[in-house]
Amino acid sequence: MSGLPLYILLCSGEHERVQMAAMMASVGAVSERAVEVFVSMNALSVFAKEAPAEGRYRGGPFSRLLNEKRVPDALGLLRQAKELGDLKLWACSMALDVQGLEMDGLVDGLFDGPLGLTKFLSDAESGQMVVL
Amino acid sequence: MATQILDVKGLNCPLPVLRARKALKDLPPGETLQVLATDPGAVKDFEAFCRTTGNELVESSVEGKVYRFLIRRAA
């Protein structure tokens, strides 16, 4: 691995923030950086299995542009990043509890498990943190 | 083995780099990959990608609106 590990704290479910998190995670992973994404707060519902395919991503005019220009789907980018590099996704255990979600209620094949913020922050001491 | 060609013209960031990474993984070390792209950000992106991954950017050129990169997979 080259470069500092990248830790992305994704709180927002807004389309552009989820998209940027997925872009950073995928570019980081294929550039041979270890990447971990901690999905919390409103961002978690974007990853719910029950989220409708149309309308999974919430947002305003820029979200509409992202859809119109058919930029790569954020969840698809994360899947590719997992295949091609060292990417881990964690579901915030607090956000799971608040939303009444279980791990099997999240989309398949992306998450490595539930995690607490204390552990994530502790791990992130050795790397670079980005909050979205 | 002949140089493999990866055509990512028309694809948005970060797909060109992701596709290149996938193609390079399937190549034996020392073999080259030619990437054709139209994203103007790709020039600096591929320079950075090669620097961080250890692959060699043998050539970078532009013809009209098409950018061409020749990348040799790291040993």
Put simply, the answer to whether A72 touches B15 (Cβ < 8 Å) is yes
**Can you give the pLDDT at residue A55?**
81
Q: Strand runs (DSSP E) across chain B, as ranges?
A: 4-7, 32-37, 56-63, 66-72
Task: Select the more confidently predicted residue: A20 or A1.
Answer: A20
Distances (CA, A) of B39 to A26, A46, B15, B35, B73: 17, 28, 10, 12, 22
**Can you give the pLDDT at residue B13?**
87
What CATH number does the domain containing A21 carry? Answer: 3.40.1260.10
Instruction: Please check whether residue A106 lies inside any domain of the structure.
Output: yes
Does any CB of chain A come closer than 8 Å to the CB of residue B5?
A: no
Cα–Cα distance for residue pair A65/B16, rounded to 1 Å: 20
Find the domain containing B18 and state its range. Answer: 4-72
**Can you give the pLDDT at residue B34?**
97
**What number of C-beta contacts closer than 8 Å exist between A and B?**
42
Contacts of residue A108, Cβ cutoff 8 Å, sequence gap at least 6: A49
Instruction: Please check whether residue A16 lies inside any domain of the structure.
Output: yes
Q: Strand runs (DSSP E) across A31-121, as ranges?
A: 35-39, 87-92, 113-115
Among chain A residues, the shortest Cα distance to B20 is held by A30
Residues in A lying within 8 Å of B, measured between beta carbons: 2-3, 23, 26-27, 30-33, 69, 71-72, 77, 80-81, 83-85
**Can you give the pLDDT at residue A69?**
86
Of chain A, the percentage scoring pLDDT greater than 90 comes to: 86
> Integer distance in angstroms from the first to the last C-alpha of chain A?
24
Number of domains chain B contains = 1
Instruction: Please check whether residue A1 lies inside any domain of the structure.
Output: no
Instruction: Please check whether residue A33 lies inside any domain of the structure.
Output: yes
- Name the β-bridge partners of B4: B33
Asked whether residue A1 carries a pLDDT value surpassing 70, the answer given is no
**Can you give the pLDDT at residue B1?**
56
What CATH number does the domain containing B66 carry? Answer: 3.30.110.40
b/e sequence A24-60, b meaning 16+ C-beta within 10 Å: bbbbbbbbbbbbbbbbbbbbbbbbeeebeeeebbebe
**Can you give the pLDDT at residue A105?**
96
Number of domains chain A contains = 1
CB-side neighbour CA atoms (13 Å) of A104: 0
Backbone angles phi, psi at A127, to 5 degrees: -140, -160
Instruction: Please check whether residue A72 lies inside any domain of the structure.
Output: yes
- Reported as a pLDDT band with limits 50, 70 and 90, residue A128 is very high
Find the domain containing A22 and state its range. Answer: 6-131
B32-53 tens-digit pLDDT: 999 999 998 899 999 999 999 9
**Region for A92 from its dihedrals, namely left if φ exceeds 0, alpha if ψ lies in -120 to 50, beta otherwise:** beta
Cα–Cα distance for residue pair A63/A49, rounded to 1 Å: 20
Q: pLDDT tens, position by position, for chain B (75 residues)?
A: 568 999 999 998 899 999 999 999 999 999 999 999 999 889 999 999 999 999 999 999 999 999 999 999 998
**Can you give the pLDDT at residue A15?**
95
CA distance A108 to chain B (A): 21
A39-89 tens-digit pLDDT: 999 999 999 999 887 888 999 899 999 988 888 999 999 999 999 999 999
So what's the ipTM on this one? Answer: 0.80
